Homo-oligomer: A and B are copies of this chain.
């Protein structure tokens, strides 16, 4: 049994049982793969792939078990290379972050600036996506660290760690009548056209829940993927905005006023996701601690080992 052979059968599976395509993605010849698959099957004494004549048509029962193990093995082999790579290259390497707009625009800039100036050897990449994309990138190893408020904890392959809590705020253009109200309430909000996040973004679920709880249907006239778009339309007088409090800044957002809405909507927790069982390099720990000072190397290790254990913010 060779690691190559395991790579081959996994790639065949990934390419929908097409050996030729697997050969192409692995930059090798198709007969080579074909032969190695057969050799592996002979060695193990089972057929891995069902064939009808010369076409691959499915995965046999033992094949499933074998492919599962193969995946594990290659994952750990990646870890091994990663671990040695870190020592070999010292404090250099590539760190891929995946984050939502809110995080990328409002939470990360200062942390990223400091990180890249302190660790010039590390090539930092930031990929923006929606929470589901982010989770999948981390699961597939396309990103090292995922940062989002939603969705991450729905993936059992991920370890998620709480970064910080935040609340929503309501924004209105200067002079809007609602600014004169003593205290903001949901029943007041439903009277106005509203602009907020698209579903599955930045705590939108908690906004929905709050209105459902009082059985009211808010008049949402526009949904956006990010707070900048929302602020633009609020400025134009299209309605009131409900955004993350992180996204409002008195100085920068001239012409807009913010009202605290922490009492109206359940608070949200920004979470950081790592793939279970991945080897973390020094700079992974370093970035995490810069972003969330309570997540020391020790705290992260504990969560990675503990697995299911939930860390309380």
Contact = CB atoms under 8 A, between A and B. Distances in A.
A1 B80 CA distance: 10
A76 to B, nearest CB: 5
Per DSSP, chain A at the interface is: helix
A84 B62 contact: yes
B73 A80 contact: yes
Contacts of A85: 44-45
A80 B76 contact: no
Contacts of A3: 1-3
A126 interface: no
Contact of A88 (B44, B73, B76, B81): B44
Given A62-B83, A73-B80, A307-B307, A46 B88 contact: yes
Contacts of A108: none
A36 interface: no
A79 B67 CA distance: 11
Among A61, A72, A77, A80, the one with the most B-chain Cβ atoms within 10 Å of its Cβ is A80
A110 interface: no
Nearest to A45: B88
B46 A1 contact: no
Contacts of A79: 69
Contacts of A73: 73, 76-77, 80
Given A46-B84, A70-B80, A87-B46, A279 B1 contact: no
A2 to B, nearest CB: 7
- Pick from A2, A66, A279 the residue with the most CB of B within 10 Å: A66
A65 interface: yes
Interface string A26-61: 000000000000000000111000000000000001
A70 B84 CA distance: 12
A180 to B, nearest CB: 56
Contacts of A76: 69, 72-73, 76
A59 B293 CA distance: 33
Interface in A4-44: 44
A177 interface: no
A308 interface: yes
Interface string A277-311: 00100000000000000000000000000011000
Contacts of A1: 3, 77, 80-81
Interface of A: 1-3, 44-46, 61-62, 65-66, 69-70, 72-73, 76-77, 79-81, 83-89, 279, 307-308
20 contacts: A1-B80, A1-B81, A2-B3, A44-B80, A44-B81, A45-B84, A45-B88, A62-B86, A62-B87, A65-B84, A69-B76, A69-B79, A69-B83, A69-B279, A70-B80, A72-B76, A73-B76, A73-B80, A76-B76, A307-B307
